[in-house]
Structure 1
Amino acid sequence: MSKSQIKRLHQQQEAEKANLGEEEEEPVQVQQRKGPANRFAFFDDEDESNDDDAKSEEETGSSQPKTTADKKKAKKSKKKGKKGGAEVVEETENQMLARMAALNAKESKKAAAASADQAPSVEELMKVDMKMFDMSAEIKRKLGKAFKEVTTPGATEENRWPPGRRAVGRIVKNKPKWFPERDYGLSMVQTDETKDGAVWFHLKHNKNYEGRERLFWLAEAQMNPEVVHEIFSDTPYHLNSLLMMAHMNRMNEDFNQGADLIERGIWYVDQYAAPTFEPFNWRHRLDYTDYENRAFFLLLHRHMLNAAHKRCWETAWNTAKLIFKLDPTGDPLAIMSIIDGYALKAKQFQWVLNTYEAAKSFKKLNLLPNWPYSVALARHALAKDEGEHETAEKELRLAIRHFPSVVVQLMDNLQINPDSAVMNCKMFTSFVADNEPDSLKLLVKIYAKETEEVWKQPEILLFLENSTRRVAVSSDKQEIDECSEWRNKRKRMYASRSPNVARLCQLLDVVPSSSLSDPEPPKNGRCGYERDAHGLATGQPVVDNLVGALIHSLMPNYEPDRTLQEQLGRHSEEFMRYMAEHLDGARISFTEITEAITTWLDGRNEQDRLAAANVVPLDGHEAVELPEEEGEGEGEGADENRE
C-alpha cells in the first residue's frame, strides 16, 4: 500500500472514533506535539501527493491533471478528519465584529457598575499632580516639539545653572537669577494634630521679620511704593512685599516679572517649611485665620491666576486643588466657586461629575450657582448617544430653573439677543436678575466671567439656547412651582454676604480691594503681634520718608492724635546727635539703620521711665513733680530748706 492510502485508512479510523466520542461527555484531549516543528513537512506532503497523483495517472491512463480546487477540498477534508470529523462552520468578518462589540458592551457595563460601587473620594479627586506646576512645560505639551521658547539675548545664560547645581523645589523650581537663599526670619511649626489625622501648621515671624511687616503695613496704608522697594532690597523674600511688587509689575504690564516674583515667594515658603510639612498631602493643613499664613494662600492664588492668564488651565486647576486642600472645611478663598471653570477648560469633564457627586453633601455644591451648570456642560461633552444628550439637557434645564440669573449674565457677557419666547419670560429679565441677593450676584458674575469662553462655542451656545427656550415656554405646573420655590430659597440662602466670597471678588478684581496683603480679614483672625497698637488707625499722619516710617513703626508708645514731628520735637536734638554719632555718613545697610533707631528708642524709653519715677500721682490731684536731689555735700542745707 502506498503512503497516501495508509493515511486515508488512518483518517477513516479516526473519524469513526470521533463519532463514538460525541456521545460521551468527556472532551477529547488533543495531545500537543513535543519537540521542534518540522518546517519542511509541507514540502514533503506536496511531494508525496505529487507521487501519488503520478502513479494514479499511470494506472488509470488518465492524462488530465487534478485541479487546484480538488486539492483544496482534499486538504479541507484532511483537516476535518483530524478534528474528529465534525464539520466546522467558518465565522464571517461581520459576525466576528458583532460578537466582539457585544462582548465589549458587556465588559463596559461591568466596569461602570464597579466604578459606581467604588466612587472616588474627595481626597482622591483633590490629589495634586506635582508635574502640573510648570507653566512652560504645559505650553510645550500643548504646542509640541516644534515649540521653542523665545528668549532675549543673554537670557539663556541667566537661566542656566552652573556645574554641580540644579533647580530645587516641590511646588515651583528656583532660578539661578534669584537672590541667594538665607534665613530672613520666616519659619514654620506644627501646631496641632486632630483625631481625623489632620496636621495643622503655622508660619512664624521672628523679630526681624516682624519689623519689616510693620513697616510694610505703613507703606500699604499710605500707598508708599518707595518703602516697599526698600523692604524688598533689604529682604528680597518678604512675602507681602513680593505680592506688592508683583502687583506693581502687572500694572506696568510686565506680567513675566510679576509671575517670577510670585514664584519666588512660593519657593521660599517651601524651602523654610517644617521638615514634616508635605504641601501635597491631603492631611497637612494651614489655618487662614492666622495672619502669618495668609501670605502663602495669596501667593498661591496669584500663581493660579497667572497660569490662567497664560491659558495653562491644567496648572491653574492643580493650583486651585492645592489651595483648597490647605483648608478644605473653611475654604477661605472660595475655591469651589471657580475650580470647576478651570476643570472645564482643562477638559477634565469626568472629574467635574465625580467631584459634584463626592462633595455634594460635604460642600453643598448643588446650592452654588456654578456647579449645576458645569455638571450639565460636562455631561454634554461626554455624551455619546441621544439618551445621554437628553440627560445633559435635563441637567441644564434644572440649573436654569434654580439659578436663572446665570443665563441673564451669560447673555449679557456674550452680547446675545434672545428670541421672543425668552424675552417675554419674566424669569429672564434684567429686572429680576438685579433683585437677586448681593452675594448671589457676585457668584454669578464670577462664574459668567470665568466660563464665558466655554459657553461661546457654537455647539454649547446652541445647547444653552434650546434649554433656555424650553424652560421659558414650559407650562408644566410642577416646573413652575419649582421655580417659585427656588426663588424664595435663594433669598433665604444668600441673605447675608459671605466673607469668603467677598475675599474672592477682591482677588479677582470684581470689586475694589482695600488691602492687597489682607483682603477681607477674618473676624476671628489671629496674629502673633498687635497691629492697631502701632498707629495704624484711620486718620493717622502721613509719613513721607523711609526713616520717618521706620520710627513710626518702631515707636512703642505712639499716640495717634499727635504727629511724628510733635512726638520727636522734645528729643529731636538728642536723636540727631545720636544718629550722627552712629551713622558716620558712609553707605550703610537698611538693617544697620533699623538697629540704630531701635537702640535709640530703647535708651529714650529708659530715660522716660526714670523721669516718670520722680513724679508722684495723688488721688484727685494733678501729678506733683518732686525736686531733684542735690549732691551729697548739700544734703543738710537741702533738708533745712525743705523744712
Structure 2
Amino acid sequence: LTITNDESWIGSECPFLCQYIRNLNPETELKRYFGARAVQGDQRPRQRNRQYHRSTWMTSPKDSWPRFSRPGISMTLLQSKDGIQFFTFEHGRDYQQVQFKFLDAVESMDPNNIVALLQLNPYHIDSLLQLSDVCRIQEDQEMARDLIERAMYSFECAFHPLFSLTSGTSRLDYLRPENRAFYLALYKHMMFLEKRGCPRTALEYCKLILSLDPDSDPLCMLLLIDFLTLRSREYQSLLQLHQDWEEHRNLSQLPNFAFSTALCHFHLSQQEDVDPEESDKERHKADQLLQNALIMFPGVLIPLLDLCTVQPDPTVTSHAFFGPKSQIGQPPALAELTALYVGRTHTLWREAAVMLWLEESVKEVLRRVDAKDPLVEDCQNKRKQRYQSAPRNIHRHVLLSEIKEATSSLPLEVTSQPVMGFDPLPPLDSVMSYTRPERQHVGATNESTLSLFFRSLLPNFNFQVSCTDQAK
C-alpha cells in the first residue's frame, strides 16, 4: 500500500496548497459565526508588557507568557529548485544542551523535571509539546492548548524571511529531527482548533502541514483532510483535490476518499440553490460512488452503523458480503485504515437523510453482489493484493489520532516499542545534524501518579508491571 509518489508533478502551481494568511487565524472563522463584536469583546485589554512580543500570524502572544528571548532556533534556506524552496530549522549550541537535558528529563519518567526545565527555558519546543500532552491527559485543555501556541510562536519568530506559510512552495524535510517538532506543533494546534469548533481554520493548517512535504506526507494529512473539508462544507474543494491528485496519489485506494467523495456529491445534491437537473446529476454520481465504495470496502459498514447506534437490517447482517467475515478477512493495513475512517467520521453519517441514502445504497449493493456483478470479484482481488502492510507514516498518523478503534488495529511491531509524544515513530533513515553524548542510565524511582499518566502515553505501558517494579 502506498499513497505517495513522485513529487515532480507538484510544482510551484498547486492551488489547493495555497491559502490566505488570514485563514490561519481562528478569529476569522469565529467572526463569521458570532460577529466581530462578540469575538473582540471577549479579548482582554492589552497590557504594557505586550510590547516585548513580536507580532505573528499563527498565534497571538499572550500577556501571561514569559518574556520572549530567542531560544536558539534558526531557519536556513538549503536550496531553491523549480519554484520550490527547501528550508530547515537548526539548533544553536546552547539549545542543543537544553535538548540533551530534555531527553534526560523524559528518561526520568517524571514530568516535574520537564516543568523545571521549562521554568529556565520557557520557549523550549519539545518540552512545551511533551508537557502539553501531560496537561491534556489531566484534562487541562486550556493549558495544553496554551503550551502548543507558545511553541508555535517560538517557531514563527525563527522563520527565514523567504519562508511562506501560504504559497504552498516552502518545504521542510521530516527526516531532520529539528523540523519534526514544527509538524507536530501544527498538528496538535490543528486538532485543538477542530475541537473548538473551527473546522475551516483547522483545514487550513492541515493544508499547511501537507504543503511542507506533499511527497512523503509524513503525518498522513491525506487521511484527515477529507474529514475537515466535509466539516467545513467545502465540498467542491475536496472533489477538486481528488480530481487533481488521483492520478499521482491513488487517492481512491483510501477508504476515506472513496466514501467522502460520495458524501460530497450527496450534499451538493441536497443544496437548495441547485436546479433539479443538476441535483439529480449529483445524486446519481453520489449513488454510484457510494455503491463502489461499499463494494471495495465492505468492512466499513457494520462498524460505522455500530458507532452511529443504528441497528442494521437482518438481511444485511446475515449476508456473507457485509457479515463478520468482511471485517475478519480484511488485510492488516486495510483494517487499520477502515478503523481510522469509521472512528473519525461516523458523526458525519448520523444525519437522517444521509443514513437513509446509505440504507438505499446498501440494498442496491447486495442486489449487485447477488447478481454476480464483475466489480465485486475485481474489488476482492484488489483487497488481497494491496493493503498487506501500511507504511510508517500511516502508523504515525494513527498514533497521533488517538482514535481507539484505530490504535487497537496497529501491528505488534508498533505497539511493542516505546512511542514518545515529542517524536512518534521517527523515520528509520533520519538525517542527524548532531548527536547526544553518552550518558549513564539512571532508573526512575518513587514514581508519582502523574508519572504513571505520563508513561501511559506509551502503547506498551503495563500498569501492573509498573506497580510491581515500584514495590521492589
**TM-score, structure 1 normalization:** 0.61
Q: Is structure 2 residue 427 aligned with structure 1 residue 522?
A: yes
Counterpart check, 1:307 vs 2:193:
yes
Q: How far apart are 1:535 and its partner, in Å?
A: 4.1
The equivalences for 1:398-409 within 5 A come to: 398-409=292-303
CA shift in 2, pair 1:136/1:257, >3 Å:
farther
1:128/1:471 CA distance change after superposition, 3 Å: same
Match of residue 257, structure 2, among 371, 395, 408: 371
Alpha-carbon distance between aligned partners in 2 of 1:177 and 1:491, rounded to the nearest angstrom? 56
Instruction: Say if 1:333 and 1:500, in contact at 8 Å, map to a contact too.
Output: yes
1:356-435 pair list within 5 angstroms = 356-383=242-269, 384=274, 385-435=279-329
Contact 1:237 1:264 in 2 (8 A): yes
User: What is aligned with 2:390?
Assistant: 497
Q: Structure 1 residues 165 and 236 mapped into 2: Cα distance closer, same or farther (>3 Å)?
A: closer
Task: State how far apart, in whole Å, the 2-side matches of 1:165 and 1:291 are.
Answer: 30
Structure 2 residue 353 is matched with structure 1 residue 443:
no
- Report the Cα distance in structure 2 between the residues aligned to 1:437 and 1:217, rounded to whole angstroms: 37
Matched, 1:541 2:442: yes
**Is 1:487 aligned to residue 380 of structure 2?**
yes
Question: For 2:131 and 2:188, how far apart are their aligned partners in 1?
Answer: 12
Whether contact under 8 Å (1:122, 1:359) holds in the other structure is no
CA gap of 1:305–1:425, structure 2 versus 1, over 3 A, is same
Shift of 1:468: 1.1
Identity of aligned residues (%): 27
Aligned to 1:131: 22
The number of equivalent residue pairs is 416
What's the secondary structure of 2:321's corresponding residue? helix
* RMSD, aligned α-carbons: 2.5
Compared CA separation, residues 167 and 449, structure 1 to 2 (3 A): farther
Map 1:256-267 onto structure 2 (within 5 A): 256-267=142-153
1:493-520 deviation line (CA, Å, top 9, x unaligned): 2112210110011111133772111101
Does 2:223 match 1:337? yes
User: Equivalent of 1:457, from 351, 362, 380?
Assistant: 351
Give the Cα–Cα distance (whole angstroms) in 1 for the partners of residues 48 and 357 of structure 2: 52
Note if contact 1:372-1:395 (Cα within 8 Å) is conserved in structure 2. Answer: yes
Q: Which runs of 5+ in 2 are unaligned?
A: 1-11, 408-414, 447-472
SS at match of 1:427: coil
CA deviation map 1:254-302 (0-9, x unaligned): 2122111111111211111222212222221000000110000000000
Contact 1:122 1:358 in 2 (8 A): no
* Cα drift, residue 244 of structure 1: 1.2
The DSSP-based 3-state class of the residue aligned with 2:156 is helix
Structure 1 equivalent of residue 66 of structure 2? 179
Describe the SS at the equivalent of 1:258: helix
Q: 1:311 to 1:163 in 2, by over 3 A?
A: closer
Q: Alpha-carbon deviation of 1:247?
A: 1.1
Deviations 1:337-393 (A, max 9, x none): 111000000000010111110010122101111101111111111124333312211
Asked if 1:141 corresponds to 2:28, the answer is no
Supply the distance in 1 between the matched residues of 2:290 and 2:299 (Cα, whole angstroms): 13
Bigger relative CO (Cα 8 Å, ≥ 6 apart):
2
Q: 1:163 to 1:448 in 2, by over 3 A?
A: closer
| Structure 1 residues 391 and 478: alpha-carbon distance in aligned structure 2, compared to 1, 3 A threshold | farther
For 1:120-269, list aligned pairs within 5 A.
Answer: 123-144=14-35, 147=38, 156-157=44-45, 159-160=46-47, 168-194=55-81, 196-269=82-155
Compared CA separation, residues 508 and 400, structure 1 to 2 (3 A): same
Paired residue secondary structure (1:428): coil
Query: Rg bigger for which structure?
Result: 1
Q: Deviations over 1:219-246 (max 9, x none)?
A: 2233221211121111111111010121
Aligned partners of 1:508, 1:122: CA distance in 2, in Å? 30
Give the CA deviation at 1:162. Answer: 6.2
Paired with 1:274 and 1:475, the residues of 2 have a C-alpha distance of 57
Question: Any idea what SS the aligned residue of 1:473 has?
Answer: helix
Structure 1, unpaired ranges of 5+: 1-120, 546-643
Check if 1:507 corresponds to 2:389.
Answer: no
- Shift of the 520–474 alpha-carbon distance from structure 1 to 2, 3 Å rule, reads same
- Alpha carbons of structure 1 residues 145 and 285: separation in structure 2 relative to 1, 3 Å: closer
CA contact (8 A) 1:167 1:173 kept: no
Asked if the contact 2:17–2:167 (Cα under 8 Å) also holds between the matched residues in 1, the reply is: no
Deviation at 1:491, TM superposition (A): 2.8
Match of 1:59 in 2: none
Q: Which secondary structure state, in structure 2, belongs to the residue aligned with residue 172 of structure 1?
A: coil
User: Counterparts of 2:350 and 2:41 in 1: how far apart (Å)?
Assistant: 31
